[in-house]
Amino acid sequence: MSKLVVEGGNRLEGSIRIPGAKNTVLPILAATIISGKESVIEDCPEIKDVELTVEILKNLGCKIKREGRTLTVDSSDISDYTIKEELMDKMRSSIILTGAILARMKKAKTTYPGGCELGLRPIDLHIKAFKELNISVVEEGGYIMFDGENAHSGDIHLAFPSVGATENIMLVATTIKGTTKIINAAKEPEISDLADFLNKMGCRVLGAGTSVITIEGADSFSNVNHTLIPDRIVAATVMAAAAVTGSTVEINNVNTEHIGAVISAFREMGVLVFKTMDNSVVVSAAGRIKPLNLLRTSPYPGFPTDAQSIITSVLSVADGTSIVIENIFEQRFKHTEELIKMGADVTVDGRCAVIKGVDRLKGAKVSARDLRSGAALVVAGLCADGFTEIDNLYHIDRGYENTLLDLREIGAKITKV
Ligand code: UD1
């Protein structure tokens, strides 16, 4: 089994480019199913979750070509509506494919989704919304069968602004006659990017980025060429790497609006963050990190849950005590058990972590427990004394290109063995 070995204590310098966002490429790949045309996706990240989604699309009958960072999907010959169990198991976000498959085929067949181990990750909001659009949902022999032959438009009030449920409703509504309205929709930038893609395809999606989104069904679509928004969580990871190593790093291809809450937290920790050009920032840190009195994760535009583990690593070497409250997912503090092996002083009680900053972390053998906790351990390793060995790299590969080895471009000493 391969491991990352991170040598701590080295300054970083130089510039690094952020790739297209994982959380936007997945729903957009799903959306390519709907049109029966050719979709060209630019700046497509080379990560495991994309590979898995591509595999699912090929299984359904799509023809897919990758040339560097450009992915072309031709969905004209789709013939199947089943997502195989072994593929569904590997990725929770595969649930959003059901909305797209239903929009195209009027039927879909899946199992319950797998993916990141972040505690209970139900799909009740997706199912409830489908039923409200008169899509029948029946469990049979371990499979979930969706039938959208009699689907009709309607108003859907989400009990929580779930990102995945908002995407799934947007996708399924693209071919339902009339106007479907989502109330209390998620406002994440990935939702707006999906809406942009759908509108280029010939749909009429209004209100993305606000809490009310309307989708008017269409019956013909066109070819699309779309460049993905940059990955805001990869940007947050590089910022954390610069912060813990007391470095100055330029980050290119970043949308500062999308990471407003993250920039604000880093500034509160005493890290300088300034915009150099439209899509570049310089992050500069020196001396001890200041603690955060209270950091709460919340839906966009609040502080993203996906950056919580990464920032916990930074706070573990802050000059004082910080409190972090995780409001989105249970069990998203698994990385703290690993950080403790590196000498961090963290106490977790339910959704709350109290982090007493220590002078130094020390290298240790640790395990990536989920995607972002893996990245958090790389960040911790960069400032620890000695060598940190990280295993379970498949988690990191789901969402970071080249197992984060690209940090070597800015001087990080990381090897994969
Ligand atoms: C997406 C992101 C993930 C991010 C999360 C929150 C993708 C591929 N993943 O995940 O990286 O951490 O948004 O920003 O885009 N919930 C229910 N019932 C449901 C659906 C969700 O109770 O039917 C709950 C979840 O258990 C969780 C919360 O709602 O507690 C947020 O989930 P959601 O916004 O749906 O996240 P995902 O779309 O899974």
331-364 pLDDT, tens digit each: 899 999 999 999 999 999 999 999 999 999 999 9
Rounded to an integer, what distance in angstroms lies between the CA atom of residue 65 and that of residue 72? 5
For residue 304, give the ligand 1 atom closest to its CA. 14
Which residue among 328, 370, 373 is best mutated to probe the pocket of ligand 1, counting the most ligand atoms within 8 A of its Cβ? 328
Locus of tokens 């290298």: 363
For residue 23, give the ligand 1 atom closest to its CA. 15
Tens of pLDDT, residue by residue over 65-94, are: 999 999 999 999 998 999 988 888 777 778
| C-alpha 329 to ligand 1 mean position (Å) | 8
Angle (nearest 5°) at CA 383 between 380 and 385: 105
User: What would the mean pLDDT of 18-27 be, rounded to a whole number?
Assistant: 97
User: What would the mean pLDDT of 1-12 be, rounded to a whole number?
Assistant: 95
| C-alpha 17 to ligand 1 mean position (Å) | 27
**DSSP helix/strand/coil, 258:** coil
Locus of tokens 């609006």: 257
| C-alpha 163 to ligand 1 mean position (Å) | 6
pLDDT band at 40 (very low <50, low <70, confident <90, very high): very high
Nearest to 159 by CA among 199, 226, 211, 224: 211
For residue 120, give the ligand 1 atom closest to its CA. 26
**DSSP helix/strand/coil, 398:** helix
Rounded to an integer, what distance in angstroms lies between the CA atom of residue 343 and that of residue 241? 18
* Shortest-distance Cα residue to atom 34 of ligand 1: 162
Give yes or no for a cis peptide into 161 (omega within 30° of 0): no
Protein residues with CB under 6 Å of any ligand 1 atom? 23, 26, 93, 120-126, 160, 162-165, 186, 190, 305-306, 328-329
- Catalytic, out of 44, 116, 203, 383: 116
Locus of tokens 């990190």: 289
Helices (H) and strands (E) in the chain, counts: 13, 23
The beta-strand segments (E) located in 75-154 are: 107-110, 136-140, 143-147
Does residue 43 surpass a pLDDT of 90? Answer: yes
Phi, psi for residue 181 in degrees, rounded to 5:
-115, 135
For residue 128, give the ligand 1 atom closest to its CA. 23
Q: Indicate the Cα dihedral angle 399, 260, 268, 372, nearest 10°.
A: -10
Active-site residue flag, 203: no
- What domains, with CATH codes, occur in the chain? 4-19+230-416 (3.65.10.10), 22-227 (3.65.10.10)
Angle (nearest 5°) at CA 263 between 18 and 210: 85
**DSSP helix/strand/coil, 317:** coil
Rounded to an integer, what distance in angstroms lies between the CA atom of residue 286 and that of residue 271? 8
pLDDT band at 320 (very low <50, low <70, confident <90, very high): very high
What is the average pLDDT value for the chain, to the nearest integer? 95
CA distances from 157 to 4, 131, 161, 168, 214 (A): 45, 13, 9, 14, 12
Rounded to an integer, what distance in angstroms lies between the CA atom of residue 10 and that of residue 233? 23
Q: Are 321 and 358 in contact (CB under 8 A)?
A: no
pLDDT of residue 121: 59
Q: 345-349 and 365-367: which strand pairing?
A: unpaired
CA distances from 191 to 108, 167, 214 (A): 22, 7, 12
| C-alpha 182 to ligand 1 mean position (Å) | 16
Rounded to an integer, what distance in angstroms lies between the CA atom of residue 72 and that of residue 167? 21
Tens of pLDDT, residue by residue over 361-416, are: 999 999 999 999 999 999 999 999 999 999 999 999 999 999 999 999 999 999 99
- For 115, other C-beta atoms within 10 Å of its C-beta total 19
User: What would the mean pLDDT of 288-316 be, rounded to a whole number?
Assistant: 98
Q: Are 292 and 269 in contact (CB under 8 A)?
A: yes
Locus of tokens 């092996």: 341
| C-alpha 406 to ligand 1 mean position (Å) | 28
